[in-house]
Structure 1
Amino acid sequence: MQVRTNNTSTHNTSTNNTSTKRSALSTVLISLSLGLGFSHLANAQTPTPVTPKATPSFRCGGINPIGVELKPVPKLSNGEFTNPGADCAMWQTFIYLNWPAKAGQRGIPDTNALFGAPGTTVWESFLTEEQVFLPNGAQPQPWNNLALNASLPKEIANDVAGGSTRLLTRTAKVSPTVAKLQASLKALKNTSIPLDEIKQADGNVLYDQQKNPVYYDVAMNKTQYDYITQNSLYNATKQASFAKKSNIVLPFGSIEVKAAWKVLTAAEASSGRFHVAKGYIPSAPGSQAVTIGLVGFHIFASGGTENAGLWATFYQVDNAPLMGATGKQAYSFNNPNSKTPINTKGTNPTQVVQVFADDASASKINIEAQKMITQGYAKSPWQYYAMVDTQWSKTVLNLGSPVPQAIPLSAGKPGDISTDTLINPVLETFMQTKGNSCMGCHAFATTAQKNSKTATGFSFMFGSAQAPK
């Protein structure tokens, strides 16, 4: 497997040194992503990772799962930036993000833990959008602090602060503040994107077969957090001043994730087919703690001012069938015997189908990744996750000028992006039409000011900033 660490080129001058470094990094990667045993109890002895006889690898390349690097992707074994290479890189990123986190250190994988072990994952230890963009533009907590939410019961607040319990407050994948920008966005001309459907909220809630809504969770890594806090971009007033002098563009290495969670039945929770977490729903009658399972996962890895970065989306394989499929299995969001119109807003439960098949390249990488996981630990829940595709720009962008840049941003003309359609059926259920994509929607992300048309480098997060009172 060809891998690379952060800021280290795979094309070293000495071939021998390169081989030695690759061998060492491969050993680390194998111990991280192939030693996939399982520890059921915190006090149980950690099993010794077992390397399969024939060590599988992403043959098209990839990156070390303890970090992300985009230039716009490391040089791969096939010698160029391609769909298979991008898919491999984002599968590697998925492994890193879902690795068990080191206790007390946000965003750091615990290399002594095993992939698939219970507990808080790396991305779940990140700070969420709500923890950084505070009411009245207040300064957020230091990265590794455990700032408790005073509105929560004490026994819940600590777990929410550390990430082991997800605070389930939104049935939209963008915040209510961002949703208010829809009216101004609709005024823009020459766009086919159904902007009122970027969010799944109000009448656009997705319901599972038990008639429970899906909840969404947005979080960021430390690189993104540092950029926001160092420039006071969590404060809408200071954000506006900053945007007059410099474009808001997430720096290279920033990672933003969006997760979709389903409230699990007892059978689903014990099935071993879901990554399971604890969730707390403050809006439920009496409030309640529930067992939740990950059903969808977006990753945006920024490429900085010269690149639109990488956009990948993953799903749990029991979500819904592909359009036209005749499968009769039990799906989370589809009843094969139902007469309810498919992908229709306002239905409960929602009858979901996946309109567009997984990309052919991604499908091949999915098989390879799942093989890696099951060879390490046959019962790992991560074998039941797959990638739809990765989207990336083939052209070099200049997001740094002019200042300010107006929406919509361009990822390049047709043919300059890897695909013009990338949709996750549980994150964009109601906008599964040709030409809609992650980059296409995020091109309309703006600053927090009312009726703003100032772009924020493809991140909707900045629209959640509030001004001090």
Structure 2
Amino acid sequence: MTSTITGSITGRRIGRRGIAAGISAVAGIGLLTAAATKPRPAPPPSYLAAFPNFSPILTPQFPGDVDIALKTRLEKLQKFPEVQREFDLYSWQMFFALNWPTNNQGKPAPSLTSTAFGAPRWTLWHNSSAIFQPDGARPAACGLQAAANNLVLRRDLSKPVSRGLQPFSLASTANADPRTTRFLGVISAVGELNASNLSDIKQAFSGPLIDQNGEFVYYEIMINPEEVNYLCANNLYNINGQVAFSQGGGKVDMPFGTPKIDWSGSTELKFAWRILKQGKDDFSRFYTTQAVVIDQGPDGKQLERHVTVGLVGMHIAHKSSTSPQWIWSTFEQVDNLDVDPVAHPNLKPNFTDVGCPICAVNTLPVKNNAGVYPRIPTQAWRAIPIPGDKKALNAQVQASLHRMGSVWQYYELIDTQWPTDPSAPPSPWDGGLPDAVTNKAGGRVTPVMLTNITMETYFQKGNQPACNGEETPSSYTGCGTDKAEPPIWNARLNNLGHPVKPGLNTSAFMTESCTGCHSSAGIYTSYDPKTGANTQSGQLTGDFSWLMAQKASYAGGAAPTTPPPAVLRAKRNE
């Protein structure tokens, strides 16, 4: 352009004013051209079309992250409640995408209610037991091309779904469609508690949840293709591979999602399933599916049962570029703890006996002398109420789903946890309150505490010594015995004008924190196959996934594994 202008000026006798005018005119054309070619900001995804309200235009899209442009703009304006709303809407969008009916070729149905089109999208993912096999064997998924793990249409059920259990019978597994039938054996949301090891709850970190019908709640974990491919590529599916990985200097760093690539980023799903009974439960208020479960019989032996189960809890854990501490979204069925007896006089809560106002809440069930649980229902209680902004958003979502006639109208978002400052390092465990508890995992997450009543029932402790919520090292044994100063934590202590001591035994309120709990996860660094003695890496070495530490087995035969003391304490403190 410059040479053209110069040539024109050289070939013609033009005054200084004319030269300036010519240059100005050409510059103006250039600006217009630049403006015309400058890319416009991408429109927000459809689920944010009515932001901050819920948009009833539902799609099966699973963005790899929240809309970063919107998040950045809101943060600059210091509209932090609206940033939370963005993450909450993202949670609902993930929920819809994962539960969207999808055929065996991965094509989504025309609408969320087209259930005859196919099972939910997540049923095309690998079950955790298929990757972390009880015998530590290399999973079949690791012998496939990466793209082949996008559509899982078969499941090898010749092996148990959990260590110690018997395989399901051939009669139950023959010609079984893993997309439409759940095969369940784990009865604790944390650890591998099942009908074969109910006598050792301490090793499982928690106990079974028993509903008001006297039935165990069953749990399963699904893993998305990106995470499966990462686990296979690094041989992290068994203890042998983890030890070699750690000794080779490897650091677990799962793939993260970006908003430009749908379905990108590691994702883990945890489901809580309740056995439904004719005449006692309203099946229309649950997402239901057929299931084969391994139960504890009246004699304590394993018992295989064919049942219908209803979904009562769903965790979504997703790693993204904005959230290296992961995004944690948790949902429940609306009748878990409360019902409207006027509108539904025959309906009862799933996990609460309203006729027993003095029943002890969130207490582990007790087995009898024969080692059998008498199936006395758990009286569940929510320590942290669902926030008001979540209730308002849920009401919008449920009204829209009601108009569609979707069963998902009977589900609610409890909350979404995400890091407000992803680069913030974890606070020192003995550095004082509140950070030693609230920022244990780094990232300064919000909300600080997050629980799902079906999965963290027994971790909702309330007031405790602060050290129970801190990442205390294995050498610290003074929790609950050292002097507590100040004796009770209150935010106003920060304004008293004198230093506040660390307060390791100061009483503070604590329940469960997704990031706090999962930050304690690591991988095996050593293992003795003769004795089962082992060590695991420390905090923030498992990239917020407990799968490797809790579900991996040793390949080649080995003594049963038990978590090392440090891991037991980390989980107990949650």
With the length of structure 2 as denominator, give the TM-score of the two structures.
0.61
Alignment-derived partner of residue 139 in structure 2: 140
Provide the aligned length of Structure 1 versus Structure 2.
388
Query: Does the 8 Å CA contact 1:308/1:397 hold for their aligned counterparts?
Result: no
Partner of 1:334: 352
Give structure 2 stretches of 5+ with no counterpart: 1-36, 76-82, 142-148, 159-166, 195-200, 257-264, 298-302, 367-375, 426-436, 463-508, 526-533, 557-574
User: Measured at CA, do residues 360 and 73 of structure 1 come closer, stay the same or move farther in structure 2, by a change above 3 Å?
Assistant: farther
1:381 is aligned to 2:380: no
* Other-structure match for 2:277: 265
Residue of structure 1 equivalent to 2:29: none
Q: Which amino acid aligns with 1:127?
A: H
Residue type at the aligned position of 2:218: Y
The one-letter amino acid paired with 1:79 is: R
Please list, as runs of the form range in 1=range in 2, the aligned pairs for 1:147-296 lying within 5 A after superposition. 147-150=155-158, 151-157=167-173, 162-176=178-192, 199-200=205-206, 204-244=207-247, 245-252=249-256, 253-267=265-279, 270-283=282-295, 285=297, 286-296=303-313
The structure whose Rg is larger is 2
Q: 2:548 aligns with which of 449, 462, 466?
A: 462
Amino acid at match of 1:459: S
Q: Which runs of 5+ in 1 are unaligned?
A: 1-11, 31-54, 179-194, 400-407
Which residue of 1 is the match for residue 394 of structure 2?
366
Partner Cα separation in structure 2 for residue 461 and residue 159 of structure 1: 29
Give the percent of matched residue pairs that are identical in Structure 1 and Structure 2.
25
Change (3 A) 1:334 1:86: same
Letter in 2 for 1:412: G
The alpha-carbon distance between structure 1 residues 448 and 169, as it changes in their structure 2 partners (threshold 3 A), is farther
Q: Which moved more, 1:351-360 or 1:113-122?
A: 113-122
Q: Judge conservation of contact 1:56–1:372 (CA < 8 Å) in 2.
A: no
C-alpha distance in 2, partners of 1:428/1:137? 28
Distance 2:51 2:191 in 1: 38
Deviation at 1:352, TM superposition (A): 1.3
The yes-or-no answer on 1:411 pairing with 2:441 is yes
Cα displacement (A) at 1:155: 5.0
Report the Cα distance in structure 1 between the residues aligned to 2:246 and 2:63, rounded to whole angstroms. 27
**1:445, 1:456 within 8 Å by CA — same for their partners in 2?**
yes
Structure 2 residue 458 is matched with structure 1 residue 430: yes
Contact residue 260 and residue 426 of structure 1 kept, 8 A:
yes
Contact 2:255 2:266 (C-alpha < 8 Å) held by counterparts: yes
- How far apart are 1:249 and its partner, in Å? 2.4
* CA shift for structure 1 position 100: 1.4
Asked if the contact 1:300–1:312 (Cα under 8 Å) also holds between the matched residues in 2, the reply is: yes
Deviation at 1:63, TM superposition (A): 10
Structure 1 residue 122 displacement after superposition: 1.3
* Amino acid in structure 1 at the alignment position of 2:536: S
Q: Is the 8 A contact 1:116 1:382 kept in 2?
A: no
Cross-structure match for 2:499: none
User: Which of 420, 428, 442 is matched with 1:394 structurally?
Assistant: 420
Task: Specify which structure has the bigger relative contact order, considering alpha-carbon pairs within 8 angstroms and separated by 6 or more residues.
Answer: 1
Q: Give the secondary-structure state (helix, strand or coil) at the position aligned to 1:277.
A: strand
Aligned counterpart, 1:66 = 61
Aligned mates of 1:306, 1:319 — CA distance in 2: 30
- Give the SS at the match of 2:140: coil
Counterpart of 2:90 in structure 1 is 89
2: CA distance, partners of 1:303 / 1:410: 20
**After alignment, is 262-271 or 236-245 more displaced?**
262-271
Q: CA deviation at 1:392?
A: 0.7
Secondary structure of 1:223's aligned partner: helix
Tell me if the contact between 1:160 and 1:167 (Cα under 8 Å) persists in the aligned partners. no
Please tell me whether the aligned partners of residues 317 and 329 of structure 2 are also in contact (alpha carbons under 8 angstroms): yes
Letter in 2 for 1:465: A
Alignment check: 8 A CA contact 1:166 1:277 kept: yes
AA in 2 matched with 1:111? A
The whole-number CA distance in structure 2 between the counterparts of 1:440 and 1:232 is 26
- In structure 1, what residue type is equivalent to 2:441? A
The answer to whether residue 22 in structure 2 is matched with residue 14 in structure 1 is no
Deviations 1:2-33 (A, max 9, x none): xxxxxxxxxx9534x845xx6xx64xx79xxx
How far did residue 56 of structure 1 move? 6.8
Distance 1:133 1:69, change over 3 A: same
Offset at residue 316 of structure 1 (A): 0.4
2:128 is aligned with 1:115: no
Q: What is the aligned partner in structure 1 of residue 467 from structure 2?
A: none
Deviation track 1:97-123 (CA, whole Å, cap 9, x = no partner) reads 1111322x4xx4523454362652112
Q: Which amino acid aligns with 2:315?
A: H
Which residue does 1:345 correspond to in 2?
364
Between the aligned partners of 1:291 and 1:109, the Cα distance in structure 2 is 26
Provide closer, same or farther for how the CA distance between residues 92 and 466 of structure 1 changes in structure 2, counting only shifts above 3 A: same
Residues of 2 paired with 1:305 and 1:267: CA distance?
47
Contact 2:424–2:442 (8 Å) recurs in 1: no
